[in-house]
Every structure is written in structure tokens, then in C-alpha cells.
Amino acid sequence: MKLVNKLSASTATNKYLRITGINETKALSWLDQFESFRGLSGDGHADLQGTLQLVEYTDDDAVEAARAKYPSLSIKQPEYTLIELDETVTDESGYGNSACCVSNLDNKTGLIYGTDYVPSGHISKIFKNTHRYLGKLVTPGKPIVGNPFVKEWEPINMRDSSGVMKFIQLADADSRYYDTDYDSYKREADLSGVKGKGETFSIIGRFWYKGINYNTPLGARPSEISKRYIAFSSAEDQPEISTEIRVIRVDNLLANPISSPDSEGLVQADSHLVYTSDNGTVDDRLANNNSYNVVRVNVSGYKKVRYPMIYQGACCLFTDAQGRIIEVNGTVQTKDGVGSGEVFCASNKYGYNGMPLIATIPEGSVYFYITVPKYITDSVTAQPCDIVLHKGTKFANGDAMNEDNAREWIADMEPEWVQSPLLPIAAAECAVDDTTLGIYSPFDGKKTALRGTEY
């Protein structure tokens, strides 16, 4: 944009500009440099054509104003807001997954930035779309006979979802009043809780979300990593799935034995790959084990892989086309921060067999041989996740794709988005005093003490 800068510095009274083929990923302020220009027709603003992808979620009104100025420029908000939770960090009580381990990668607040966490972007918009309602039961659902969720010490009269409830929105500013005509005429809602008058609820608007486990196997990074990422999107339509990834269904691999030297699929049933740290080939590591199966995928041209976790003496192997285990710095296993030919887990501290692990694909790899745990419903073995390969086009190598730049790639490693439906939640006033943690009824002020398991 050096030419634009020169034109901006010009002393000409009128400046005209048209730029085509724009494809930029910038902040909205990038458009400020075009403020002094007009379109070639002499009217309005500079004629900008193409796409501007915003790097961070920006106020919707400001974006709409920019779109009005530059109607031929497609200005896109980020598709999601990404939150990071570091499970290796605990609060003063010794618990992880608390407020102390949360970071917002979009507005750079929270743990890793040394500040308090502040919600933003799509999360703020989801909050904005959340309102309080007075809900009145119109038609009760049918009673559920033999409800399996009812325990002897906790009798609950459960009903099915055939019932009908009417919701009336309350004002955001003061939920004692109805939202309709709140600014001109405050109409008070009956929140007495008397039978037939209804109860208060909060309803969260529809949104999309997905979670990503970033657990690394030993030999893949120099230090222990166990992070959880959650992507939230307030968009009406499902966010796009990245074109950088390839998804491989484990079920498809298990159903198709390898039929040629270059095919993917089941290598050997009722077997696992033994962890030894020795050089050699895949055949040297195969051993009988009824709890596992071994499959193979082609990883040529990819830099990262998500695959099902395996521990307890088994491992997974990167090999060349002949099945020889990839060596890095003269060994198949390294802990110096580069990808290694052998990946394994020493424990299930942050997950169980079948849950996702993410590893760097070392240079020279053609195949990845994976020990896949069989799904056991009555044990801690999870349903094996599908395999995801990432091209990492923007990165020189797989090791360059790490936790420091996770915002640029980590969300791609989970392709499945889930839509949260409209969700009514009972809105009861909570309070804590010196002796009892409890819930106050919004109607009669009486407090019900919580059991220890409900904190």
C-alpha cells in the first residue's frame, strides 16, 4: 500500500481510487487509510473490491458502517471466539479448570496475558442474546413411569417433553417488568410464584460450539501440555470447516484391511505396537493384544495429526514408505521439542484411551501406524476419536505449529460443530453467607441449603 500512502500525502484537492482483488486479513482500522479518497465516479468513498477478513471480532455497528461505505468490499467477522483452559495450572484450592486457568485468545486477556479474563466477540454476543423470561405452564407433560434418573433419596416427579410452556420476555434492565414497551410504559410482571403465575427463567439463544483437547504425547514436546480449547460462534449458520484438514473415520479404517503397500486401513487386528524406544520397523513392534487394533494412514504432505490416545505400554509410530521408524537426531524418540518417530503416553493423567492427542508429524514420514483401543462401554476407555490431519500451509514445519500460535490452527483439529438449542434455565437468586451456601427463592426469600456435591 505504498502507493496509497503517497496518494494520501498528495496536496491534490480531489483524490480518486479504485482497488480490485483485495484479499486481506486485518483489523477494521486498516480501512482508515482510504478515508480521504473518493470513487472513480467522484461520489462517495473509495471503490474497494474484494474481501477483508477481520482478525478480531469488532463491534457490529462499526462493521455495518464500514460495509455501507465500501459496498463492494466483503467485510467478514471472525467465525468464532476461542478460549483456552490450561489444565496444568491449578487455583489456590488445588483444582484445575477454574477461572485462574482461562485465557481469551481473541482479546488477549486471562492467564497467559497476566490479566483478568474478559469475555468478548461471539461470547459477548451470546450473552447479549440471553434474556430473562416469565414462563407459564400451559399443558403439563405426561408422567414418566420408572424414571431411571430418580434415586431413592431424591424423589422427583418427572414428565416427558410433550408439555407446553409459554414464555414472556422480561426487561433486561429490570426483570420485575415486561420487556414490551419497557421504555415508555413499565408493566410490572407478577413474580410471586403463586401457582398459575409462572416462574422466572433465563433463555440462552442458539449458538455453535466445539471443544478441542490439546494433549501432547511424550516425545512430542519438551514439556507437559494439557490444554482445552472451546470455540464459540453466534452465527446463524454453522461455521465452515477448514480446507486445511483431512478427516479419516476410524470405523472406515477398521473395516478395510490394507490391500496394497500404499493403502490405508487395518494393519493387524487384536494387536498393538509395543513401546521400546528401539529403532527398526513396524513389524518388529507388532504384538498380539485383544484390547487393540493397529491401523495405518498416509500422512505425506501434512504437519499435525490428531489421533486416539493410547497408554499402558503401547505406542504409535511414524514411518517411511518401507515401514522403517522415522529417526530424529539419531533416535526414534526425542524430548527436545521436535517431532519424533515414536509417540506414547506414560499415564492417563489428562485423558483416557481413545481421547484425542495431537502430535507433530516428523519430516520424512509417509505413514502413521496407530494402536487403536477397542471401545469398552463399562470402562474408562472412550469412543476412539476420528483422525484429523492438518496441512499447516502457513507454517514452515509441524513444530512451528505450537501453543504460542494455537489461535491460527488448533480449532481446525476438531471438525465437528455442535449447535446449542434454545435453553431455558431456572433463574433463582443465589447467595453465600458466613455459614451456608444456598439458593434464595426469588418469590418468598426462603433459602435452601445446598448439599456438598452441588457446590
* Percent of the chain's residues with pLDDT above 90: 42
pLDDT of 331 reads 62
For the chain, report the end-to-end CA distance as a whole number of angstroms.
57
Residue type, 213: N
CB atoms within 10 A of CB 390: 23
pLDDT over 70 (residue 119):
yes
pLDDT score recorded for residue 226: 78
Q: Which residues sit opposite 110 in a β-bridge?
A: 103
The lowest-confidence range among 12-26, 239-253, 298-312, 387-401 is 12-26
Are 266 and 348 in contact by the 8 Å Cβ rule? The answer is no
Q: Tell me the average pLDDT across 419-438.
A: 69
Q: Write down the pLDDT at residue 182.
A: 80
- pLDDT (0 to 100) of residue 432: 53
Instruction: Give the containing element (helix H, strand E) for 131.
Output: strand 131-139
Q: What pLDDT band is residue 221 in, cutting at 50, 70 and 90?
A: very low
pLDDT at 185 over 60: yes
Kindly state the average pLDDT of the residues 396-420: 91
* Number of C-beta neighbours around residue 314 at 10 A: 24
Give the three cell numbers for residue 226: 494439557
Determine the average pLDDT of the residues in 224-246. 90
Task: Find the range with the poorest average confidence among 129-143, 149-163, 168-182, 286-300.
Answer: 149-163
Confidence of residue 341 (pLDDT cuts 50, 70, 90): confident
Please report where in the chains the cell 495405518 appears, as a residue. 296
pLDDT beyond 80 at 444: no
What's the grid cell of residue 377? 462401554
Q: Is the pTM of this model over 0.85?
A: no
Q: Select the more confidently predicted residue: 286 or 329.
A: 286
Per-residue pLDDT at 24 exceeds 80: yes
CA nearest neighbour of 135 among 180, 170, 167: 167
Which residue blocks in 35-191 are alpha helix, DSSP H? Answer: 60-69, 121-128
Q: What is the spatial distance between Cα 370 and Cα 327, in angstroms, rounded to a whole number?
A: 17
Cβ(45)–Cβ(34) below 8 Å: yes
Q: Could you count the other beta carbons within 10 Å of the beta carbon of residue 247? A: 13
Q: Which three cell numbers stand for residue 326?
A: 522415522
Distance between CA atoms of residues 370 and 316, nearest Å: 5
Residues 111-130, mean pLDDT to the nearest whole number: 92
Residue 339: is its pLDDT beyond 60?
A: no
For residue 441, pLDDT beyond 60: no
SS3 for 113? helix
Q: According to the model, what pLDDT value does residue 429 have? A: 59
Question: Which pLDDT score, from 0 to 100, does residue 23 have?
Answer: 93
pLDDT at 174: 87
Read off the pLDDT of each residue in 426-451 and give the average, rounded to a whole number.
53
Radius of gyration of the chain measured on its C-alpha atoms: 28
* Helix H or strand E segment including 253: helix 250-254
Pairing state between β 342-343 and 316-319:
antiparallel
